[in-house]
Each structure stands twice: as structure tokens, then as C-alpha cells.
Amino acid sequence: MAYLFIGAGQAGGALVDSVFKYKNMHLLAKPLAINSTAKDLINLKNIDKKDWIGISENSGLIKGTTIGFEERVAGGFGKNPIKAGEAIQSYYKELKEILQNRMQDGKKQKTPFVFIFLGLGGGTGSGISPYIANAIKYISNKVKIIAVVVLPAHRKKNIASKDKKDLDKDESGDRQSWNAFYTLNRLKKYVDSFILVDNHRLAYLADLESYFPRYNDYIAASIVDLVAGLLLEKIDPSKYNIGMPVIDINDIITATGFDIKGKKVEPGYAVLGRASELTKSLAGYFVPFFGYKKLDTLMLLQVAIEKLSVADVSIGACEKNLALLRVPAFYLKHSKKSADLKSIEQAMLQYSKMNESHIGVSLTKRNLASLTILYTFKFEDLKRLRMIEKLARDFEERQ
Ligand SMILES: Nc1nc2c(ncn2[C@@H]2O[C@H](COP(=O)(O)OP(=O)(O)OP(=O)(O)O)[C@@H](O)[C@H]2O)c(=O)[nH]1
Ligand SMILES: [Mg+2]
């Protein structure tokens, strides 16, 4: 059983590349990077050529191993998702074949979950992702799709500008908001949930692009913890003889979407947070009897909330949520210092309008405790999404 992690466009590819820094991810998932700019694909460190697909307006979809790939895949769609959408639409049959191949093992369709990563503000990722998601559901409507989407940052000085030329140049701005709103609306027909990554979190930094690699690594670590923690360290929990509540990918789907009797009604918009702490003081590494520290799980939760992947979230409006604590087995076996799951559960339930919190524990062999959380909202309950909608509508009016 392999999951498929698709990176569409530059941001999408870079995020999937960060996920596959964890070498054992290959045991669970296959990567696929699709882009209109070969240069972005060449920059990927952990996704091999055989897992690249180039799109070119004139020559269609091109495999990364094709001779002359670099010259043929050089166009880009310059922040225009409509143009990128038109291009992929004319090669839709080929796209379906490529995805079908990736999702098959022998003759059978084997991929139960697909993650699509993309930056919403650009052209390529935004334009092609709805077609990718549509094709996946066409191949099998049982496949669940989580879209991990990057919201564009806004810079106040640009938003305030009255000059139309400035607004078009505005790297944050209204054009990108328009792209984002347009793409969210198209994607929501096909995907089961959204996980939001907000570049506005970095907007106060002078050169925010230089922080992308670190930000991507933070998002990747959170997602990897959620979907693959035990597997990555090859831990078999039955060896530890401890009962623990487990969270699997089905819980993640349930916690991030809204459905009635298993039928999707609409995707949820989830924000992500993660905090970690060393479980031994420095001395503990050298002196055996120093042992493990007591773990303050509520403090971890507090820090994870401060680091949520979207700016300006009011957690009180959260519909449902999920928390995964990952700790060395010690914290589950020793009653005196055992991890305080009850408090986490109470705190999480307090922030769920639907009274639905999924709480799980996972193990690590490292001396590290981490807490990863997801809070799921309706579109209208996230201020940042409302702001993007408004900027998109204003932009449209000015056109
Ligand atoms: N968090 C994060 N954001 C990124 C990264 N790369 C680009 N972005 C942002 O993602 C959005 C979309 O940009 P790209 O991914 O470059 O666009 P694209 O899909 O390649 O589409 P084109 O416009 O055709 O190049 C913009 O708001 C970028 O600022 C990245 O590595 N991490
Ligand atoms: Mg690009």
C-alpha cells in the first residue's frame, strides 16, 4: 500500500522534497513532482528524475528522463492559473494515464490516499491541481485526497497602493489572492480536506523567500509525524506491550473533513502546529541515572498553538481537531512521569464546537517529545480566508 505525494508547481515540489528528506518515507509513499519549469525540478534534492513530469504548452506532458527535458520544459505560466489549466486540459487523457500508472501495483489500483501540495498564489500548481484531483477521483472515487495549500503573504504597503501597475507587480497581493480564491473553489469539488500553510506568517520578514526552506521543513516534519511516525523509525508498537490510543490516516481524514454517513459534504480547512522538546537534560545523555525529564504536555500544546500554520486564527471557532503526541516509550510505562494525555484531551475538546477530538500517541526511539495538532474550520470561520476572498473580489472589480 503506497500513498502518493504530488508536488505541483514550485512551492508544491519544494514541500514534497522536504517530506522525502526522511528517507524511510519511500517505504510508505511515492513522490511525483509536476512543473512547467525544469529548473525547479532540477533543484529538488530528494525526488528523482523518474518522478518528474514536465508540462509544456506545446509538447504536453514530458517524463523527467526524456532527453532534452530541460529545453522543452521551460515555459512556466507566470502566475496565471487559467493558462496553466487550459494547457493541462488539452493533455488530460495523458495526465489520467500517468496518475493511473502511479496508483497501480500490478493491475490493481492500490493507492488509498493522495496528498497534493501546491502554492495557491502561482500559475502552475494552482492551474493544474484541480485537474489532478479530478483525475484521481475519476480513477477511483474511494481515494481520499488531502490538499496541502500555501496561502500567499500580503504586504500592507502593496495592498494600500492605488496604482494598478503596483498591484499587478505586488508579489503578495491581489493577483495572488485572486489565484488562491479561484483555486480553492475549484479544488474543493474534488478534495476531502485542506491543510493550510500561510506564508503570511512570514510576511514581517524582509526577504521571506529565504525562509521558505525552513518553513517547508517545519510543515514536512508535522505531516511526516502525523502519517508516518512509527514507520519511519521502524517501530513495532506491539513489542512495547503498552496500550495506547492510535491515530491513523483515516482519523486524519475524519478530523479534517465534514461528511455525513461517509459521504463527503465539504472539505474542512485545517491549520497545523507542532512543538517538540528534548526529553533528557544534557546531563541525561552522559549520566545514566539522570534519566528522563517530566513532560509538560500542556506547555507543548501552548507552543504548538503559537506556531500554527495560519496567522490570526481564533481557535474558539474550531469545529473539530486532532492531536498526536510522540514520545519515547518511557513516558507511557512509568506512572510517575507518564505523559499527561488527559489534559491534552480536555484542552482539545474545549476548542471543538462539534465535541470531536482525535487524540493519539506514537513512539519514538529518539530523546524527543513532539506534539502535532490539527484544528479544522469552516471557510467562513478563518479570518485569513475571508480576507483572501475579499482581496480576490476587489481585484476582480478593478479588472
Ligand atoms: N511556503 C512556501 N511558499 C512558496 C515556496 N515557493 C513558492 N512559494 C509561494 O507559493 C506561491 C506560488 O508560487 P509558485 O509555487 O512559485 O508558483 P507555481 O505553481 O510554480 O506557478 P508559476 O506562477 O507558473 O510559476 C507564491 O505565493 C510563492 O511565494 C516554498 O518553497 N515554500
Ligand atoms: Mg513556477
User: Cell triple for residue 151?
Assistant: 496561502
The residue whose CA has the least distance to atom 17 of ligand 1 is: 122
Assigned CATH for 3-228: 3.40.50.1440
- What is the 320 CA–ligand 1 centroid distance (Å)? 29
pLDDT digits 0-9 by tens, 230-281: 677 777 777 776 778 888 899 999 999 998 776 767 999 999 999 999 887 7
Res 167: pLDDT = 42
Q: What is the mean pLDDT of the chain?
A: 89
pLDDT digits 0-9 by tens, 374-386: 999 999 999 999 9
- What is the 36 CA–ligand 2 centroid distance (Å)? 7
pLDDT at residue 98 greater than cutoff 60: yes
- Ligand 1 atom nearest the C-alpha of 80 is 23
Res 286: pLDDT = 62
- What is the 14 CA–ligand 1 centroid distance (Å)? 9
Res 206: pLDDT = 79
- Ligand 1 atom nearest the C-alpha of 125 is 19
pLDDT digits 0-9 by tens, 24-62: 899 899 999 999 999 999 999 999 999 999 998 888 999
- Ligand 1 atom nearest the C-alpha of 197 is 1
pLDDT digits 0-9 by tens, 5-26: 999 999 999 999 999 999 889 9
Res 85: pLDDT = 96
Ligand 2 (ion): which residues have CB within 5 A?
10, 37, 124
User: Cell triple for residue 90?
Assistant: 488539452
- Ligand 1 atom nearest the C-alpha of 208 is 29
Res 158: pLDDT = 43
> Do β-strands 368-377 and 144-151 pair in parallel, antiparallel, or remain unpaired?
unpaired
> Half-sphere exposure of 225 toward its Cβ, with a 13 Å CA cutoff?
29
Q: How far apart are CA 95 and CA 105, in angstroms?
A: 18
pLDDT digits 0-9 by tens, 53-89: 999 888 899 999 999 999 999 888 989 999 999 999 9
More confidently predicted of 105 and 15: 15
The residue whose CA has the least distance to atom 3 of ligand 1 is: 11
Q: How far apart are CA 221 and CA 212, in angstroms?
A: 14
Q: Which of 6, 10, 310 for mutating ligand 1's site (highest number of atoms within 8 Å of CB)?
A: 10
DSSP code for 46: S
pLDDT at residue 283 greater than cutoff 80: no
- What is the 124 CA–ligand 2 centroid distance (Å)? 6
What 3-state DSSP class applies to 141? coil
Give residue 127's pLDDT band: very low, low, confident or very high (50, 70, 90). very high
User: Cell triple for residue 83?
Assistant: 493558462
User: Which CA distances in Å does 389 have to 18, 160, 178, 214, 294?
Assistant: 29, 17, 8, 28, 45
Residue 157 CB neighbours (<10 A)? 10
pLDDT at residue 163 greater than cutoff 60: no
Give residue 333's pLDDT band: very low, low, confident or very high (50, 70, 90). confident
More confidently predicted of 204 and 149: 149
- What is the 363 CA–ligand 2 centroid distance (Å)? 38
User: What type of residue is 146?
Assistant: I
The residue whose CA has the least distance to atom 10 of ligand 1 is: 119
Instruction: Tell me if 312 sits within 8 A of 320, measured CB to CB.
Output: no
pLDDT at residue 212 greater than cutoff 90: yes
Give residue 288's pLDDT band: very low, low, confident or very high (50, 70, 90). low
Nearest alpha carbon to residue 147 among 100, 196, 99, 103:
196
Average pLDDT over every residue of 114-126 = 97
User: Cell triple for residue 120?
Assistant: 495557491
- What is the 14 CA–ligand 2 centroid distance (Å)? 11
Average pLDDT over every residue of 102-114 = 86
Pocket lining for ligand 1, CB < 6 angstroms: 9-11, 14, 36, 76-79, 119, 121-125, 150, 152, 176, 197, 199, 212, 215-216
The residue whose CA has the least distance to atom 29 of ligand 1 is: 152
The residue whose CA has the least distance to atom 30 of ligand 1 is: 11
- What is the 269 CA–ligand 1 centroid distance (Å)? 20
Nearest alpha carbon to residue 193 among 131, 240, 146:
146
Q: How far apart are CA 298 and CA 295, in angstroms?
A: 9
- What is the 291 CA–ligand 1 centroid distance (Å)? 45
DSSP code for 233: T
